Amino acid sequence: MSNYKNGEIWGFEREIDTRRKCEVILGVDGGATSTVCVCMPLLLLPSPLSNHDLSDETLPVLSRAISGCSNHNSVGEAAARDTLEQVIAESLLKSGSTRGDVQAICLGVSGVNQPKDQERILNWLRHIFPSFVKLYVYNDAVAALASGTMGKLHGCVLISGTGSISYGFTEDGHEVRAGGGGPVLGDWGSGYGIAAQALTAILRAHDGRGPETMLSTSILQTLGLSSPDEIIGWTYADSSWARIAALVPVVVSCAEAGDEIANKILVEAVEELAVCVKAVVQKLHLGGEVYAWDL
């Protein structure tokens, strides 16, 4: 195990009475906007889980910690790793536990798209935790599906947050994904995609290349800018995906107020998300007969 390179993030462990042994497990949900770590006591649960009530009342949570983005594609590997380590350490601190109490940790992190992504995080975890700790790393969509199926990976899940992705599994373990390529490759059903199109619509209207839209006044006011020309500088001043996606509520408000451009952006986003789900369902032959969808 190692200390945090930028400070004694694990220094609190010296103050914890290690004679008070409490075996715990950690679950991490990491996205492009926020990352959450939950610490729970190790419990022997009945099987199959689907026959039992596993509400929050029967699964005690010892602690919960929240931090920022842990998607390495958005903020870089170093920043993503720092966020994960921070949120894990904070959760253990709040629960009065140490890394020696951890029996298993499961991370569901956006941006984990290839085996090399998993292995990179696993290698880092191996340097932090004792060798007996069981380590699991998945895309956050896999964790989302498992949370809705009592741990059984079968079906299709759709995530639309800062980014978007649809993910599915058959009962025999075959998996397929659609979307999830990030903003450069066109996550148009995501929060980033919606907000990016809104910003583009403002510039088009300002240039005379597109119709006028209520988005111009509303977003400029939200950002504290005086002219659409300033949007370019604001956009590239910080590459964080979450910063762009945070404008989605403004787009929704404009659509609700009757703005046709804002409404069109949202309708097209929904259509993109539906296409992602349809692609996964058809490839995996989920749900029996596949019907034609009119989008």
pLDDT at 48: 52
- Higher pLDDT, residue 179 or 218: 218
pLDDT at 147: 84
pLDDT in tens, 95-133: 999 999 999 999 999 989 888 999 999 999 999 999 999
Tokens of 228: 């659409």
Tokens of 128: 């932090």
pLDDT in tens, 157-211: 999 988 999 999 998 989 999 988 888 887 779 999 999 999 999 999 999 999 9
Percent of the chain exceeding pLDDT 90 equals 63
Nearest CA to 155 out of 49, 277, 51, 289 is that of 277
pLDDT in tens, 279-290: 999 999 987 544
Element (H, E) at 104: strand 102-109
**Cα(247)–Cα(241) distance, integer angstroms:** 11
pLDDT at 291: 42
Least confident of 141-145, 264-268, 271-275: 141-145
Q: Where are the beta strands (DSSP E) in 111-221?
A: 134-138, 155-160, 164-169, 175-179
pLDDT in tens, 229-253: 999 999 999 878 889 999 999 999 9
Q: Where are the beta strands (DSSP E) in 14-76?
A: 24-30, 35-41, 63-67
User: 3-state DSSP call for residue 30?
Assistant: strand
**Per-chain mean pLDDT for the chain:** 87
Residue type, 92: L
User: 3-state DSSP call for residue 160?
Assistant: strand
Nearest CA to 276 out of 157, 144, 145 is that of 157
pLDDT at 290: 43
Q: Residue length, the chain?
A: 295
pLDDT at 229: 95
pLDDT at 152: 82
Judge whether 245 and 190 are in contact, CB under 8 Å.
yes
Distance of CA 4 to the CA centre of its chain: 24
Tokens of 191: 């929060």
pLDDT at 225: 96
**Cα(143)–Cα(157) distance, integer angstroms:** 10
Query: What's the pTM?
Result: 0.78
**Cα(206)–Cα(151) distance, integer angstroms:** 50
